């Protein structure tokens, strides 16, 4: 049998998800969740490392603080209509339902979570 080479091909375009947030007066602001670039991903991973208790094998075994876990992620990938990153203090003022929903979408967009099916597959190996 011969060795078959495989070519990996990627599209170097960051994925985006349009977001609209309506305030209590009915005004709607438009935002964009944007996939990390390498520097943003590294910055977020460093934020998590600083907040986590890590065992000798490198596994997270608890948390020192939960402060900024969700808003810290969003402050690296949520952009306003002027294409500026939304500051963490603005994100912290959003209702919990908004922050939680954006956080879950941002985790998936940035490949920071593993699907339940993938988790089950790893458990069964």
- Reduced to 3 states (helix: H, G, I; strand: E, B; else coil), residue 19 is strand
To the question of pTM greater than 0.95 for the whole model, the response is: no
pLDDT of residue 5: 87
* Banded model confidence at residue 1, pLDDT cuts 50, 70, 90: low
Does residue 66 fall inside a structural domain?
A: yes
In a domain, 1, yes or no: no
Q: Is the per-residue pLDDT at 35 higher than 90?
A: yes
d(C-alpha 1, C-alpha 50), whole Å: 49
Longest dimension (CA), the chain: 68
> Is residue 10 in a domain?
no
CA distance 46 to 88: 16
Residue 124 lies in a domain: no
**Number of domains making up the chain:** 1
For residue 8, is it within any domain?
no
Range of the domain at 72: 16-119
Cβ count within 10 A of residue 76: 21
pLDDT score recorded for residue 60: 84
Domain with residue 60: its CATH number is 3.30.2220
Strands 16-22 and 28-34: antiparallel
| Cβ proximity of 91 and 74 under 8 Å | yes
- Among 93, 77, 97, which residue's Cα sits nearest to residue 85? 77
pLDDT in tens, 51-91: 989 889 888 888 899 999 999 999 999 999 999 999 999 99
Tell me, yes or no, whether 4 lies in a domain. Answer: no
């Amino acid at each position: 049998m011969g060795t078959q080479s495989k070519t990996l091909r990627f599209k170097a375009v960051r994925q985006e998800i349009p977001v609209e947030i309506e305030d209590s007066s009915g005004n709607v602001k438009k935002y964009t969740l944007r996939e990390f670039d390498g520097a943003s991903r590294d910055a977020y991973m460093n934020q998590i490392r600083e907040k986590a208790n890590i065992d000798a094998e490198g596994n997270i075994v608890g948390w020192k603080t939960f402060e900024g876990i969700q808003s810290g992620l969003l402050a690296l990938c949520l952009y306003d209509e002027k294409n500026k990153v939304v500051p963490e203090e603005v994100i912290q003022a959003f209702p919990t339902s908004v922050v939680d929903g954006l956080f879950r979408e941002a985790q998936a967009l940035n490949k920071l979570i593993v699907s339940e099916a993938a988790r089950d597959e790893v458990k069964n190996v």
